[in-house]
Chain A
């Protein structure tokens, strides 16, 4: 199955999660600090990181940023219940999703699977359309899951890529945040719309010439987001 890196400073929580996730068939490496986690990533590849934000030493946000610098590894934050500032800051730092502690193992497991699906392309929506799509300066290869701008490949995290694919699948059509949450994050209902907003910001930063005047992903006030029209 998948390689899960669990970074959690509380011994009992760490043990509990490791026990439960292992029973679900994941290979779990559990460490107690951010430094250990980063060190582990350097040596051993992982499929997903489950990251507690409250860590001794370098905190979860910093760990999150450093993992993002290394690559597009999916990150699921463990956060205190509705610590709104933490959620926003974590999403801005590049996290793909978050769960609130205390969390039941099967909830976390479902999120892990959803994130992995985005990476692995298990049920890649829009993948049926082969070939290259050209949207202005943007080239989207749905088969190879590559996005390039002016011929240069753009490095997108799995969630960011899924969001862009979802939006560009129906150019000019408005998708609400809840629709996007269901489609990209697979949140059954009432997901946190800030996930969408934060992810849109990150994608814009990578593909738009001017993030404050976006061309590709446009905000439709009161409704949601829309790809184009260019």
Chain B
């Protein structure tokens, strides 16, 4: 999988989707709630501030009365403006073309406000004055006439009040809203992670169990938790694994039964063979003295008894590997000397081109090495063509023995089967050429040698020159004298 596809898989993965959904839900809810309460609070704060300011102004205006003179003098107007100004704000007093204000800050009154004030209403408006939120409250001063009416005096009072403290309160509210939003987002993500874990853990367990099952651990089962869909899947998985285990167990039992049968038969054959083998020498000696057919028959019986013995011995050897009872008899062996002895004992020393560097000492089972080498060389003579060569090489961890011939090589169709039991590449081959188990036994013998992670191997192939090449690799310091499997 490419990195991008893996990232894409991550993004569209269940975890991320859950995370997004939770985060979205959290953020949306928080945004709605927080902004709703924010706006409401803002309105309340502003309304209260405005109402309070209007009330304060009205109260202060009561002190202006009685009006002594209209039109007022500039001084009176100024005095009035000063009296109506305080810490909270300052006043602008207007009489027709005259204007006084309680502060040096220039202030502009909006025409629409003046219009409403001119119409006899107390009116207010929030404006932005020099970048600061400002509340403008305006009212006329009316005068009670003795006849019970009320006349406009022409005086207009505007209170200019800074809303910065309210702005600050509202800003604090906003900050709090953002903070709440952030916290709830965090909470949502946390919850999402938790619930993703809750959902994903069974999924992960399932994946792991499936992998173990695929790797051959048929006893793998899942713990079924709860009654949800995932638990159903887990149950189904367990049922499937159980069925599989039963069936595979059945198959294995049948196979091991079959193998045990072969082993038992071989053992049973051994006693009569032991008796027959004991007297083959007698037959061989007497055959020369027996007339005609009797002599030939005696030789035939002797020969086939030996072949049968070989076959039964090989079968017993194989069944030993199958049952895991094969044991290594390890010794420190001079490999070159051992191979030379193998060749010499079988009379092949002169026919084989041996390249055996001296002083390669390896810890291995010399009898099994002999079996392997004898088998490979014997095979090369039987199926390949001379010259047959045996080459030994070694490094710190391995020894390698290559047995090559100059024959036609192995058919690619045969290659995967050369180590199969009783596999006959050449259907015309006669039985007398061997039990058909030689290479299988050699292969098992090679694999029996083991040192930690290193396990011996026997590989068949064709050399660049055409002939068959069998390569035996054994760990140099076999320590494991354990079972074949």
User: Which A residues are within 8 Å of any B CB, using their own CB?
Assistant: 10, 12-13, 15-17, 19-20, 23, 80-82, 84, 101-106, 108, 176-178, 188-190, 192-194, 222-224
Nearest B residue to A87, CB-CB: B329
Instruction: Count CB-based A-B contacts (< 8 Å).
Output: 100
- Tell me whether A103 and B367 are in contact (CB under 8 A): no
Interface of B is mostly: helix
Instruction: Please report B residues at the A interface, Cβ cutoff 8 Å.
Output: 267, 270-282, 285, 306, 309, 312-313, 316-317, 320, 325, 327, 329, 331-334, 337-338, 341-342, 344-345, 361, 363, 366-367, 370
**A104 contact from B267, B271, B277, Cβ within 8 A:** B277
Q: How far is the CA of A176 from the CA of B276 in the complex (A)?
A: 37
State the CA gap A193–B369 with chains docked (Å). Answer: 14
Q: Which residues of B contact A105 (CB under 8 A)?
A: 278-282
Once the chains bind, are B345 and A80 in contact (CB under 8 Å)? no
Bound-state CA distance A13–B269 (Å) is 12
Taking a contact as CB atoms under 8 Å apart, the answer to whether B345 and A17 are in contact is: no
Query: Given contacts A177-B331, A192-B367, are A81 and B345 in contact (CB under 8 A)?
Result: no
Known pairs A102-B309, A178-B366, A193-B331; A13 contacts B342 (CB<8 A): no
Taking CB as reference atom, which chain B residue is nearest A192?
B329
CA distance A83 to B320 in the complex (A): 10
CB distance from B267 to the nearest CB of A (A): 8
- How far apart are the CA atoms of A189 and B341 in the complex, in Å? 7
Subset of 24 A-B contacts with CB under 8 Å: A12-B271, A13-B278, A15-B275, A19-B282, A20-B278, A23-B285, A80-B316, A82-B317, A101-B270, A101-B277, A102-B277, A102-B309, A104-B277, A104-B278, A104-B280, A104-B306, A105-B279, A188-B345, A189-B341, A189-B342, A190-B345, A190-B367, A193-B366, A224-B332
Residues of A within 8 A of B317 (CB): 81-82
Which residue of chain B is the closest to A223 with respect to CB atoms?
B332
Q: How far is the CB of A71 from chain B (nearest CB, A)?
A: 28
A29 to B150, CA, bound (A): 159
Q: Which residue of the partner chain, among B273, B278, B312, B327, contacts A84 with CB atoms under 8 Å?
A: B327
Are A20's CB and B282's CB within 8 A? yes
Set of chain B residues within 8 Å of A12, measured between Cβ atoms: 271-272, 274-275
Cα of A15 to Cα of B370 in the assembled complex, Å: 33
The answer to whether residues A106 and B281 also contact, given A16-B275, A190-B338 and a CB cut-off of 8 A, is yes
Q: How many angstroms from the CA of A105 to the CA of B338 in the assembled complex?
A: 27
Asked whether A190 lies within 8 Å of B342 as measured between CB atoms, the reply is yes
Across the A-B interface, the 10 shortest Cβ-Cβ residue pairs:
A16-B278, A12-B275, A102-B277, A102-B274, A16-B275, A189-B341, A105-B281, A101-B274, A13-B275, A102-B273
Interface centre among A12, A188, A189 (most CB of B within 10 A): A189
List the A residue with the shortest CB-CB distance to B481.
Answer: A84
Tell which of A84, A177, A192 has the most Cβ of chain B within 10 Å.
A84
Does A102 contact B270, Cβ atoms closer than 8 Å? yes
Quick check: A13 and B282 within 8 Å, CB to CB?
A: no
Contact A82 B320 (CB under 8 A): yes
Cβ–Cβ < 8 Å partners of B274 in chain A: 10, 12-13, 16, 101-103
A-B contacts besides A81-B313, A189-B344, 10 pairs, CB < 8 Å: A10-B271, A20-B279, A84-B327, A84-B329, A102-B277, A105-B279, A106-B281, A189-B370, A193-B331, A193-B366
CA distance A182 to B148 in the complex (A): 151
B281 cross-chain contacts in A, Cβ below 8 A? 20, 23, 104-106
In contact, B338 and A16 (Cβ under 8 angstroms): no
Cβ contacts under 8 Å, A178 to chain B: 331, 333, 337, 366
What B residues does A194 contact at CB under 8 A?
A: 329
B366 contact set on A, CB distance < 8 A: 178, 190, 193
On chain A, the residues within 8 Å of B278 by CB distance are 13, 16-17, 19-20, 102-105, 108
Contact A189 B276 (CB under 8 A): no
A14 CB, min distance to chain B CBs, angstroms = 8
**Which residue in chain A gives the minimum CB-CB distance to B341?**
A189
A residues near B312, Cβ cutoff 8 Å: 102
Contact A16/B370 with A10-B271, A193-B331 known, Cβ cut-off 8 Å: no
For residue A10, which residues in chain B have a CB less than 8 angstroms away from its CB? 271, 274-275
